Amino acid sequence: MTATGRGPIRIAYVLPYLVAGGTEGHVLSLLRRIDRRRFSPIVIALGGGGELEHAFRKEGVPLHMLGRDGLTPRPGRMARTLRDALGSVRSLSGILRRERPDILHAYLPAANVIGAIAARLSGVPRVIVSKRALAEYKAAHPRLRRVEPLGNLMADVVLVNSDAVRRDVERTERHWAGKFRKIYNGVAPIPPWTTEEKEAFRRREGIPIDARVVLCVSNFYPYKGHDELVEAAARIVPAFPKVIFLMVGRDSGTMEATKARVRERNIEGSVRFAGGRTDVPDLLRASDLFVHPSREEGFSNAILEAMAARLPVVACDVGGNPEAVVDVETGRLVPPLDPERFADAMGELIADESKGKSFGEAGLRRASERFPLDRMVGEMESLYESLARGGR
Average per-residue pLDDT for the chain? 93
Residues 61 and 148 in one domain: yes
CATH number for the domain that contains residue 359: 3.40.50.2000
Together in a domain, 365 and 379: no
Q: Would you list the DSSP string of 135-193?
A: GGGGGG-HHHHHHHHHHHHH-SEEEESSHHHHHHHHHH-SS-TT-EEE----B---PPP
Asked if residue 299 lies in contact with residue 281, where contact means CB atoms within 8 angstroms, the answer is no
Cα–Cα distances in angstroms (integers) from residue 63 to residues 59, 70, 137, 241, in the given order? 10, 18, 29, 47
Compute the distance between CA of residue 302 and CA of residue 217 in angstroms, rounded to an integer. 7
Which residue range(s) make up the domain with 230?
A: 195-370
Q: Is 61 exposed, middle or buried (0-12, 13-18, 19+ CB in 10 A)?
A: middle
Say yes or no to pLDDT of 100 above 80: yes
Is the domain of 247 the same as that of 156? no
Q: Return left, alpha or beta for 362; rule: phi > 0 is left, psi -120 to 50 is alpha, else beta.
A: alpha
* Cβ neighbours around 191 below 10 Å, total: 10
373-388 and 22-33 helices cross at what angle (nearest 10)? 80
380 lies in the same domain as 359:
no
DSSP assignment of 193-220: PPHHHHHHHHHHHT--TT-EEEEEE--B
Band (pLDDT 50/70/90 cuts) for residue 49 is confident
Q: Of 138, 176, 171, 172, which is closest to residue 156 (Cα–Cα)?
A: 176
Mean pLDDT value across residues 88-93: 94
Angle at 227 between CA 222 and CA 228, to 5 degrees: 115
My answer on whether 182 and 207 are in the same domain is: no
Same domain (yes/no): 167, 227: no
Q: 14-35: buried (b, 16+ CB within 10 Å) or exposed (e) per residue?
A: bbbbbbbbbbbbbbbbbbebbe
Q: In Å, what is the CA distance from 178 to each residue of 29, 153, 155, 201?
A: 28, 11, 11, 49
Helix (H, G, I), strand (E, B) or coil at 261: helix
Q: Residue 72: is its pLDDT beyond 60?
A: no
Phi, psi angles (nearest 5°) of residue 206: 75, 30
pTM of the model: 0.91
Radius of gyration of the chain (CA): 21
Q: Is residue 3 part of a domain?
A: no
Same domain, 221 and 96: no
Question: Could you give the C-alpha distances from 152 to 12, 146, 163, 170, 174, in angstroms and in order?
Answer: 17, 12, 17, 11, 7
Same domain, 231 and 131: no
Domain count for the chain = 2
d(CA 148, CA 371): 28
pLDDT in tens, 251-304: 989 999 999 999 999 999 999 999 999 899 999 999 999 999 999 999 999 999
The string of pLDDT tens digits covering residues 199-223 is 999 999 999 999 999 999 999 999 9
